[in-house]
Amino acid sequence: AQSVTQPDIHITVSEGASLELRCNYSYGATPYLFWYVQSPGQGLQLLLKYFSGDTLVQGIKGFEAEFKRSQSSFNLRKPSVHWSDAAEYFCAVGIGAGNTGKLIFGQGTTLQVKP
Amino acid sequence: NAGVMQNPRHLVRRRGQEARLRCSPMKGHSHVYWYRQLPEEGLKFMVYLQKENIIDESGMPKERFSAEFPKEGPSILRIQQVVRGDSAAYFCASSPISTGELFFGEGSRLTVL
């Protein structure tokens, strides 16, 4: 069955520290992969996406993610976290044939940033 | 350049009433998606529409829920005879073509008393 797993429900890091949020997916075909961020009471904003090509993708706000087919993973990283990065982060996989707007989301990882 | 506009932002209904949620996609976007976020859960796909057509409604509950995207005006998600389990945040997203790059609205939060 198609699914997305984000193993970490909550993560706390100190400001300036590096960050890695984990995402594993289960999907039979070549996946379209996304990371979104959601601030409290707000909608989702796209951080980055992977469709094909270079497996290391750069996104907005200094985030990057690496697609590893052998591990079915698409982990999100940032070398130095800012207090404004505190939010909820969602990994998603596009599952619709010819319609990649149909996404399966993980349950999200809440990031807390300590001063 | 306005983003995806959803209204109302907050809606309170009593059990058995109807809820109507509206979504105006970004200018130039002809594809609209509705997602539901239940408490402590991620977003779940409900329905995908293009102008005047429902393309994929595989995530819609079989009863009480309907969606439309008319030729003129916003997309509407309609929930009839609401129950407490319908309490959730409903997000609309649009895309210019079916690329998977979705632009989300801020959501409509439905509370059923």
| A91: nearest CA partner in chain B | B42
Q: How much is the CA Rg of chain B, to the nearest whole Å?
A: 13
Between residues B113 and B39, the one the model is more confident about: B113
Q: How far, in Å, CA of B89 to CA of B82, rounded? A: 14
Interface test with A, best of B7, B94, B102 (most A CBs within 10 A): B102
The residues of B whose Cβ lies within 8 A of any Cβ of A are 4, 31, 33, 35, 40-45, 48, 55-56, 91, 93, 95, 98-107
**Which residues of A fall within a CB distance of 8 Å from B34?**
none
Extended beta strands in chain B, E state: 5-7, 10-13, 19-24, 31-37, 43-50, 53-56, 65-68, 75-79, 88-95, 103-104, 108-112
pLDDT at site A41? 81
Give the angle B91-B31-A22 at the CA atoms, nearest 5°.
Answer: 55
Q: How far, in Å, CA of A109 to CA of A21, rounded? A: 8
Range with the poorest average pLDDT among A23-32, A54-63, B88-97: A23-32
B100/A100 touch (CB, cutoff 8 Å), yes or no:
yes
pLDDT at site A29? 77
Distances, alpha carbon B42 to alpha carbons A97, B6, B24, B28, in Å: 22, 19, 23, 28
Quick check: A84 pLDDT over 60? yes
